[in-house]
Structure 1
Amino acid sequence: MKNFGLALILLFSLASFSQTTTFIVLRHAEKADNTKDPNLSADGLTRAVELRKTLSPISVEAIYATPFNRTKQTVTPLATEKKMAITEYPVNKPYAELVNELLDTYRGKTVVIVGHSNTVPELLKVLSNNTFNINISENQFDNLFVVTLTNGKQPEVAPMKYGKSTP
């Protein structure tokens, strides 16, 4: 009986060691104007609903956004549906530090992170161990990146699209 208990402990240890953590990373939806902290435009609000529909069947443990209206509004429909709070993260925080904190807290779970055209590529570099590089133009809003991190394996990045296509 002791051996069976030891085998179970070993099995659970190995299972938790190889857990996959998933990050869904995207840029905010279309903004209404070019002011310092704009709200989403009508197209952006529609895209936010499309994001909710796209991610609705997925179990999400946490939702992160920068402290700007456009990022928070992009994930508000999803957060409302999932009955979750949106956690703000500062854009000037080193991304390696942010990723390590998220892995410490949400290992084996799924986290949604919304950023900007200049921050999403940097975050993806950190998450992929510098194996994934992308530029996001100022008028591109339909990209969604699914990053899977499994212990002992190279990170995988799956670029996807959601909502109405943008150039």
Structure 2
Amino acid sequence: MANIISIIFTFFFFGINPSEESILTEQQEITTYYFIRHAEKDRSNKEDKDPSLTEEGLARATKWAEVLKDVELDAVYSTDYNRTMQTAFPCAEKNKLSILKYDPSNAYTEDFQNATRGKTVLIVGHSNTTPTFVNKILGKEKYADLDDSENGALFIVQILPGGIKTSQVLYFN
């Protein structure tokens, strides 16, 4: 009984109830998204709709894991293609994570937002889907499709307390 009275006293005295405390926690969360396009794909067979990475692409995928080595990822997402899954693999392996698949045509859903809120996430996509996904998070058309030869762009998007959204692009070639 004494514990209940002290809890009630604490909430009354400090003016915080449990629901307000959870709102404060949510408002203080930072969500960070790292977006990369898949690495260099094998273009030798024009009929192949799902090519793997070239040796150069596999090396770049490994380099992405090195670039992001100090980033503790909570999740790694990829479209369901060989080239994106192969690009995501070294980062997922480094963080001991499974690769989660997403549909780029239905990417920034409420379920996705809830699953990634307050987390640090890598998302591997394509020259057109990556900027589109970033723009959807930002709520504006800030980035155009990547050139088909650009495999070294790293988009970093953060959702800060109060819903403030920031973004930047770094290039690693």
- Asked if the contact 1:129/1:155 (under 8 Å) is kept, the reply is no
Pair 1:156-2:166 in alignment: yes
Structure 1 CA distance for aligned equivalents of residues 95 and 163 of structure 2: 30
Residues 132 and 145 of structure 2 are in contact (CA less than 8 Å); yes or no, is this contact kept in structure 1? no
Rounded Cα–Cα distance in structure 1 between residues aligned with 2:159 and 2:142 = 13
The residue aligned with 2:3 is: none
Match of 1:64 in 2: 77
Q: C-alpha separation between the residues in 2 aligned to 1:107 and 1:152?
A: 13
Offset at 1:47?
0.6
What is the DSSP-based 3-state SS (H/G/I as helix, E as strand, rest coil) of the residue aligned with 2:113? helix
Q: Secondary structure at the match of 1:152?
A: helix
Aligned match for 2:63, one of 39, 44, 50: 50
Q: How far apart are 1:79 and its partner, in Å?
A: 1.1
State whether residues 27 and 162 of structure 2, in contact with CA within 8 Å, keep that contact through their aligned partners in structure 1.
Answer: no
Match of 1:120 in 2: 130
Q: How much is the aligned-residue C-alpha RMSD, in angstroms?
A: 1.9
Residue-pair matches, total: 160
* Mean Cα deviation higher: 150-159 or 72-81: 150-159
Amino acid corresponding to residue 157 of structure 2 in structure 1: V
2:92 alignment partner, SS class: helix
1:37 maps onto 2:47 in alignment: no
User: 1:94 is matched with which residue?
Assistant: 106
Contact map agreement 1:63 1:84 (CA 8 A) in 2: yes
Task: Indicate how the Cα distance of structure 1 residues 32 and 83 shifts in structure 2: closer, same or farther if over 3 A, else same.
Answer: same
Question: How high is the sequence identity, in percent, across the aligned residues?
Answer: 29
The one-letter amino acid of 2:91's match is L
Q: Displacement, 1:149?
A: 0.8
1:82 aligns with one of 95, 101, 111: 95
In structure 2, stretches of 5+ residues that fail to align are 1-5
Would the alpha carbon gap of residues 29 and 3 (structure 1) be closer, same or farther in structure 2, given more than 3 Å must change? farther
The one of 21, 25, 36 equivalent to 1:26 is: 36
Max radius of gyration: which structure?
Answer: 2
Unmatched 5+ stretches in structure 1: none
* Aligned counterparts of 2:135 and 2:83: Cα–Cα separation in 1: 23
